[in-house]
Structure 1
Amino acid sequence: MSKSQNPTKEKDTKSYSVHIPKNIQVEWSRLFTKQLYGIGKDILHKDNLLLQYGFTRERPPNSNEGSSQYSFVDKTGKIILWGFGMVCATKNDGLFLGRHAFGPKLLKVNSLLPNIWEPDQVSHGILPETTEETLLMLQLLVKSIKWLERYENWVLSICGESYRNESLQGMHSRGVPHIRLDKKWSELSEKFAKILRGNDVLCQ
């Protein structure tokens, strides 16, 4: 179905674009897709870098159906990773980020199933509509970006820049100049923080 034939997707995109410029949405999407590709390679590392970082792993009952779930909890909240996306959560509120397009959905942590293997099992996600929901979305976006930056810094400290460059080479990037994901996330974090500050001012 083409974009012009998908009114729901058009409505969602328009809603996000009120607050987040389209070019920043595209930049996030490209970087996030690349990041999850790199994380997939980290899982295949001989030491499974996600487990080494402190994640716990739950595999789907049928290994041929669904994606393993990796969860990491610390005092600031929770990160859940799958091949199809990510949840960044505080104690009560979470944000689901899908892999291939910018479309963050807010959700309540207590609405999540304990084990999720497929995207359609991430239930009750909503498009932010109110001012409060928009601010929460932006806050959780900044939180998720800052975590991804920290994770990339950790990968570089453990495995070095050459490892990360090699781990990204299979993703339509042969012959493309190397990028530093940590630096890109840092730059994007500043852009979203600026958008957040602007929305914060409008709410005062």
Structure 2
Amino acid sequence: MSQSHAAPAAVLPCDVRRDGDRLFDVAMWCLGQDVRCPDGNVLLRHGLVREPRPPGVEGQSAYQGRLGDGGRLTLWGFGALCDTCGATLFVPRDGFVPRWVEG
């Protein structure tokens, strides 16, 4: 069966998008609080690797972790990218409109 690349906004009901937006925003905020942990960066302690920004580029660092199936999860303050099983899904923090991206 081929993978559908339909616009998720057309597939997800409004209440799911609304609740997903709220939950994902709070989850991303919580993950961002790792820098305040007195024991050090929580994301690094749990095996993620900080990917620094290229020199001269403004923005946020990325945190990357390996998934059990060989895929990877990348987190930024503005969203998450899940690359697994030959497909890549980006979930933006603002608006909760997951979308397939070319990998």
Which band: TM-score by shorter chain?
A: 0.7 to 0.9
Counterpart of 2:13 (choices 6, 14, 21) is 21
Residue 23 (structure 1) shift: 0.8
Q: 1:53 to 1:22 in 2, by over 3 A?
A: same
Larger RCO of the pair (alpha carbons < 8 Å, separation 6+)? 2
Residue 42 (structure 1) shift: 1.6
- Contact 1:92–1:108 (8 Å) recurs in 2: no
Counterpart of 1:61 (choices 40, 54, 67) is 54
Question: Structure 2 length as normaliser, TM-score?
Answer: 0.80
- 2:51 maps to 1:51: no
Residue 66 (structure 1) shift: 0.7
- Contact 2:48–2:65 (8 Å) recurs in 1: yes
Runs (5+) with no aligned partner, structure 2: 1-6
Q: 1:91 to 1:21 in 2, by over 3 A?
A: closer
- Cα distance in structure 2, aligned partners of 1:66 and 1:34: 20
Counterpart of 2:100 (choices 88, 97, 106) is 106
- 2:44 maps to 1:35: no
User: What is the number of equivalent residue pairs in this alignment?
Assistant: 95
**Of Structure 1 and Structure 2, which has the larger fraction of its residues in helix?**
1
- 2:68 maps to 1:75: yes
- Cα distance in structure 2, aligned partners of 1:71 and 1:43: 16
Residue 62 (structure 1) shift: 4.6
Amino-acid identity (%): 32
- Cα distance in structure 2, aligned partners of 1:41 and 1:63: 25
Residue 61 (structure 1) shift: 3.3
Residue 103 (structure 1) shift: 1.5
Question: Structure 1 length as normaliser, TM-score?
Answer: 0.43
RMSD of Structure 2 on Structure 1 (CA) = 2.0
- Larger Rg, first or second structure (1 or 2): 1
**Of Structure 1 and Structure 2, which has the larger fraction of its residues in strand?**
2
- Contact 1:71–1:79 (8 Å) recurs in 2: yes
Q: 1:86 to 1:61 in 2, by over 3 A?
A: same
Residue 75 (structure 1) shift: 2.4
1:61 partner SS: coil
